[in-house]
Amino acid sequence: MAKTTNHGGWRETAAAALMLLSFFTPWIYSMGAPVAGYGIRERLAGPHRLISAFSGGSRISQDYRLALFLYAIPVGAGSILALLALRRYRAWMGFLAGASTVGAFLFLRGEVAAMPFHRLGLGPYLAMIAGMGLALLPVIRIAAGKG
C-alpha cells in the first residue's frame, strides 16, 4: 500500500512529472504551428507589439507575466520531484506548485482567446490536470483524515 504521509507518494510524483512533461508539449497552435511552453513568449511578443501600437495600453508587459507564469511550471515541478526524492516534500509545497500551474493555464487561456489564429494545444490541459491533482491531494488527504 502506498504511503500517505506528508512526504508525498506516487501520486505527487506522477503529478509533478506530468507537469514537467507538459511544458515540452505543444501549448498553443499559433497560425497552425505548434509552440511548446518555452517558446510561447517569443511567439506572442510580435502580435502583442502590433496590438499595442493600435491601442492605448501596452500588452508587452503581458509577455513578461506570461513568461514568469509558464517558467514557474517546470521549476515548480522539478523542485517537487527533487524534494520528493530527498524526502523533504511537504503538502503545502505541492499545493503552491499546483495552484500556480492552474493560474498559468487560466492566464494563457485568456491570452489565447484574445489573439486571432491561436488556439490551445495539449500542454496546458495536461499541466492543469496535474496542477489540480497536486493542489487537491493534500486537501483530500486532510478531509479523509490521513494528512
The pLDDT score that the predictor gives to residue 116 is 75
Q: Encode pLDDT of 65-102 as tens digits.
A: 666 778 889 999 999 999 999 999 999 999 999 999 99
Q: Which domain holds residue 105?
A: 10-143
Number of domains in the chain: 1
The pLDDT score that the predictor gives to residue 2 is 47
Assigned domain for 39 exists: yes
Percent pLDDT > 70 in the chain is 78
Burial class of residue 107 in the structure, from the number of CB atoms within 10 Å of its CB (0-12 exposed, 13-18 middle, 19+ buried): middle
Mean pLDDT of 45-57: 56
Between 120 and 116, the higher pLDDT residue: 120
Q: Where are the alpha helices (DSSP H) in 1-147?
A: 10-22, 40-54, 60-86, 91-114, 123-143
Assigned domain for 114 exists: yes
Rg (CA), the chain: 17
Assigned domain for 5 exists: no
What's the CA dihedral at 57, 63, 69, 75 to 10 degrees? -160
145: how many CB neighbours lie within 10 A of its CB?
6
